[in-house]
A and B are shown apart, each in its own frame.
Chain A
Amino acid sequence: MGGNAMSEVDYADVQGLVRFGYGHMTSASYRLVKVKSAAAAKAWLRATPVTSAVTQKPPPKTALNIAFSAPGLRALGVSDTILAGFSHEFRGGMAEESRARQLGDLGSNAPGNWDWGRYGREPHVLVMFFAEPEQFDSFVKSTKGNVWSDAFEEIATLGTSNLDGDEPFGFADGISQPQIDWEQRRQTPCSQLGYTNVVALGEFLLGYRNEYGKITDRPLLNPDTANVELLPAEDDPTKKDLCRNGTYLVMRQLEQDVRGLWQFLYKDAGGNFEAAQQLGAKMVGRMRSGDPLVPMEKQSIPGTDPASVRQNQFTYENDPSGARCPFGAHIRRTNPRNGDLPERRPSALRKLAIMLGFGPKGFYDDLTSPVRFHRILRRGREYGSELPPEQALNSAAPGESARGLNFVCLNANILRQFEFLQNAWIASTKFAGLTGESDPLLGNRQPIPGCPVTSNFTIPGDAGLRRRVPGLPQFVTVRGGAYFFMPSLRALRFFAAD
């Protein structure tokens, strides 16, 4: 067995969303609720079957997964001592002022403007319903049952729509996902010279080794009668690991101004729709079809899903200038596909030279951290009616409802994974040697002291000078957000116990 192989994961204990996106269950909704009565809530939790990560044949037609915020755990009576073992970010919350500043949630994105998740409207529990369309309504009704309204007060219900694999701007989405090393064959810590799509289990599931070869911090309990069912901690078998087989869930409701984007692209392209689509592709980093802007790599990248090889087997090694896929494009920002060193196969001496700072001298070289420590597992779903780009050029009908993405991602370390991506790569106006621009889709366009303009988008040229597109309007507005903990089934029973 591999050097760090340990006990196998008990899929029956893990909530299904970690392993499956439930793609065939095209109807889904997210209910954000506050605990009205802890006793009733616990009764409901005890009585409600939660979908596990066990593969079922045939696949189920319905699924239910549940996650809790820090105020939610408190409302259920979890002690402060136990809560103190959860991460700073989870306890502080997404809406906390300093955190919001780091995440770029400023201006219209500021938590004070959120529909849900701001101070006073923090959800306690996130209940996620998934089902095949015919079953959906009855599933929700029967799952809620009689106790629901005694147990919970609904803060927000986020519906979803099925856009057939596209996100609301009109681009194919969900192509790139990390492959979780469920069998724990990955040797960590390790030196990773080339990009790999396989990521250590502990990056997505608490209680297991992460890419640093360590286990992320979580509350460890002294064994007693209340927690007898919980599994022991891998690094301290004398203690019970409350979070083992659980993970943190980040949720953000991202409203997308589809008309705003396409009208901007169309205007910049001088009324040429084809050129508008090309500019859009440069901003996203993929064509609308999902094809990347750089050619597919012949050599396979470990962990690439065979079904997505054509669109996901690539790195940016052959695009060092950004001429094919701009440095600031959305998918290049959120996944630079790099290894640990700026060169793929350095000799031992060259490696030493690189480590000491005598590696490549180019201005744009070696500016980004290695991505394997910052991967997230995306599980979100779109909402709102479909609006094809061609139709987006017209004005909205009165009372048109909003559309966007209910962004959901799973990670074991919110700070190093989601927050790092959002702060250092998406919101940063200084990413990869750029200046005056943040993510073209998600950027808040807010001025920063000393830098009044942050609304540019740079398209590097083939030989020399770039094209700089100025004046990008804000295309995405944050309408709500929160951090949750999605427990294992054992931990769920622990929280729900009388």
Chain B
Amino acid sequence: MTPQSNFMVLAPINPDRELELRQLLDSMNRGPGQVDPKNELVPFAEFNNLHFARFVILDDHTTEDVRLYGLAPRVYPLYLAFLGDMDGDANAFLSGLIKRAGKGLVKIFSCCQGFRPDTDLLAWMKQHNAPAIAAYVNWRGRTVQQIREEAALYEAIEDYITKNADVVLALPPRELYSRLQGFVNTEKSAGRITLSPASPTPLGWQMMNLLHMIGLPLLVLILSPLLIVLTPFYLIALRRLERTDPEFCPTADQKHSEDLSRIEDHDVTNQFSAMGSLKPGLVRLLTTSAVLKTVNYGARHITRPGRLGRIRSIHFARWVFVAGTERMIFCSNYDGSVESYMDDFINKTGFGLNASFSNGIGYPRTNWLVRDGCIDERKYKEYLRRHTLVSQVWYKAYPGLSAVDLERNTRVRQGLETPSMSDEQASAWAAML
């Protein structure tokens, strides 16, 4: 199978060229929140292994929040982030990207500090890559090609069923299954349906994956005596912080909220970029790292395909430290409107939200890291809205398909490739059509 990887180019913007950059990014869109996939600067559609991509100017309006701790706010440069989720090796992708979109990328990155006409684009992008401390992939190994092929398969089957409804609807499940298998095989021979076999999994990746899967728990095991000794001190420190850390959840600015709404809900999937400063101190930093490393481990080795806990609507997500350890950005691609996204999370994985985000300044008060917090629904939603950034450009390689659609299509294909099925299995399979 082909594993997915990601990149995030993070670079400070040259203040003199911010307006030019904004205009360049705007020019890539057909309308608010709707990119032209074939735009001249970065024609995303030409890359058939690119799932999602976006350009975000990290216009963080919450840097003053650190005053709540009596600290003076830092003045940060304004950053540009260019991120992507794709199939295969990240470096190989970047090389391919530059071959076809080099000119456009140069125009864009020229607006960043330290980018000169003679700068080696690939080297510069690699140098400015910000690795994610935690990343989530909805379905490890499912490539863009696979998604498109399986979507076409589903359409073909639906079409066949519609055309042959009278016959097909009367068939018992196993016969229906054989009939459809026959149909698909005919279509494959005729070249009208393609279902490419999975590529062999790169050995290097397999080794790294195994190392990580065994290595991390092993490390925790080795350190466990130390961890056990430190735990009560940690918990005491955490509880003290939880009782004293200030909340700061003012109502989000109406205009900001409207700016966000304008770019949302043009596809069944939406993008989300939220940024904030970490609560100061070592305890909070260590908590953040430990929680996110755990989330990352779970996402890589434990979660069921198609699910992050009980949530089935996230395509890709990641957490990234922004230039140092004071600020962090969270980027995701999820299905449905932001309201249903929030609601799903609060109701189904409140503990997960609290664990990952409660270390941000001003987050609604948590207890024992996972309790309360986002249950104060109003405060939580305003907090999130205020920390959400407007993304300037957002691309998705499969318009109109939700993560659940993708799962269905994959399961349908997997069913067809099963040599035989029981009545019950055939029935459950047919129920997805």
Contacts and interface: CB of A to CB of B under 8 A. Distances in A.
Interface residues of B, number: 64
A468 B162 contact: yes
**Chain A contact surface mostly:** loop
A448 B309 contact: no
Contact of A102 (B304, B337, B407): B337
Nearest to A449: B399
B265 A101 contact: yes
A92 interface: yes
A253 interface: no
Interface in A423-456: 423-424, 428-430, 433, 435, 448-451
Contacts of B337: 102, 423-424
B329 interface: no
A205 to B, nearest CB: 16
B308 A357 contact: yes
A461 B431 contact: yes
Interface stretch (B54-62, B90-98, B124-132, B343-351): B343-351
Nearest to A340: B347
Interface in A369-392: 369-370, 373-374
Interface stretch (A133-141, A358-366, A477-485): A358-366
Interface in A70-91: 84, 88, 91
Contact of A449 (B169, B251, B267, B303): B267
B310 A366 contact: yes
A91 B429 CA distance: 47
A94 to B, nearest CB: 13
Interface stretch (B41-49, B184-192, B196-204, B255-263): B255-263
A212 interface: yes
Contacts of A362: 428
Interface string B135-165: 0000000000000000000000010011001
Interface in A88-131: 88, 91-92, 96-99, 101-102
A374 B343 CA distance: 10
B228 interface: no
B312 A367 contact: yes
Contacts of A99: 261
Nearest to B177: A464
Among A96, A356, A361, A423: residue with most chain B CB under 10 A? A356
Given A369-B344, A468-B162, A363 B308 contact: no
Interface of B: 34, 158, 161-162, 165, 168-169, 171-173, 176, 251-252, 254, 257-258, 261-262, 264-268, 303-304, 307-312, 335-337, 339-340, 343-344, 347-349, 351, 375-378, 398-402, 404-405, 407-408, 411, 426-433
Given A92-B258, A416-B343, A424-B339, 8 more contacts: A91-B254, A355-B310, A364-B431, A369-B347, A373-B343, A374-B343, A450-B398, A470-B162
14 contacts: A92-B254, A99-B261, A212-B377, A321-B431, A363-B408, A364-B431, A416-B339, A419-B339, A424-B339, A435-B405, A451-B401, A464-B426, A464-B427, A465-B433
